[in-house]
Structure 1
Amino acid sequence: MKPADSSVPLQPLLAERWSPRALDPEVELTDKQFTALFEAARWAPSWGNTQPARYIAGRRGDSTFDKLHGTLSRGNHGWAGNASALVLGVAKLSNDDGETLPYGEYGLGLATENLVLQAVGEGLVAHQMAGFDRDAAREAFGIPADYEPMVVIAVGAPGDAEQLPERLREKESAPRSRIPLTEFVFSDSWQEPTF
């Protein structure tokens, strides 16, 4: 594990969350763990309680997992096959009257972070990926035009980084980093650091 190097202590779920690629190909999610991911996502806040997040989820060995795996970019395809589950996050873009739904992508982001933190709470890890073919996912699952595939999430248990190709092993072992608070939070005017 690689806990966050923060300026003040963070809640353990936040400090321990990271996105490894080394996943244990032997670990399977229990039904309770699998369900809990989506209960956590379901209870995320959303603009006007519109709840725009939708998911397509499969566990390793089922046809949904295989179809999701087939949409991944070459860089993600190799390692993500070891995940216990693959999940496609989809944002609802319009309401039932066909009007644009504000903040749909933001709502999916909030729900997905809940899903990821639930995984951490279950002793698992999750890696979110933009590297997938949206059109292939739309076609494979018959996703309607007013919904947008946004992210694929690999969920599983930490695995052995030595099993990854060298370029990914280096990423796996590199220290986690973020921009400093001085470049992140401002007061009074833009670029006047709060901290």
Structure 2
Amino acid sequence: MSTPVLERTAETSVPLLDVLAERWSPRAFDPTSPIDEAKLTAALEAARWAPSASNTQPWRFIVARRGTDLHATIDGALVGFNREWAGNAQVLVAAFAEETDADGNPRPWAQYDLGQAVAHLSVQAHADGLFTHQMGGVDREALRALPGVDERFTPVSVIALGELGDASALSEKLQERETAPRLRRPLDETIIASA
């Protein structure tokens, strides 16, 4: 299915790389097309090569393709209006931070590093023509019950990943969000101090 891409390029104060300015988080995912496995692997590989403190790589992912029981389970762990649209994504990725090492020592930077890995994943996916939408609205206890998750792994978010779908298939409320102007706080309000 070929869905026209909405013009969503950010109006930035200075020029950015196209892949950054054009990246956005849709809610309309194509509910029928399969995932391109090579593009999915590239996105996960980009996450693998993200920087981390002392190269600890304190991130873990559970990757669930649409049509599998695992996808349905992760979709069932979503809360709020995420339940209305995220199940259409070709892939749901549950993201975990490894907040302690194998010896029980804390890794206070783990969620920060996970965020970097997810950012790399989302930029690579966008560069390859896929879209991502990160969600914090999730039942974390349900994610803790997923296979392979041990006590070191803190569930943080779920990422919907796949090809863009038709926004007109969304509810009216979600269509409004899908097409609303992209806004960010001005840069001078983001920087607390600069010398």
So what's the TM-score if we normalise by structure 2? 0.93
Q: Is residue 65 of structure 1 aligned with residue 71 of structure 2?
A: yes
Residue of 66, 73, 77 corresponding to 2:83: 77
Unaligned 5+ segments in structure 1 are: 189-195
Q: Is residue 97 of structure 1 aligned with residue 103 of structure 2?
A: yes
Q: Is residue 181 of structure 1 aligned with residue 181 of structure 2?
A: no
Give me the identity figure in percent.
47
Q: Quick check: 1:47–1:103 contact (8 Å CA) kept in 2?
A: yes
1:111-138: CA deviation from partner (whole Å, max 9, x where unpaired): 0001111110110110000011000111
Count of aligned residue pairs for this structure pair: 188
Three-state SS of the structure 2 residue aligned to 1:177 is: coil
1:102 and 1:173 mapped to 2: Cα distance? 37
Match of 1:117? 123
Residue of 135, 152, 171 corresponding to 1:146: 152
Read off the aligned partner of 1:90 and give its amino acid letter: F
Unaligned 5+ segments in structure 2 are: 1-5
So what's the TM-score if we normalise by structure 1? 0.93
State the shift of 1:141 in Å.
2.8
List structure 1 segments (4+ residues) > 4 angstroms apart after TM superposition. none
Three-state SS of the structure 1 residue aligned to 2:41 is: helix
2:182 and 2:87 mapped to 1: Cα distance? 24
Match of 2:60? 54
Three-state SS of the structure 2 residue aligned to 1:118 is: helix
CA-atom RMSD in angstroms? 1.1
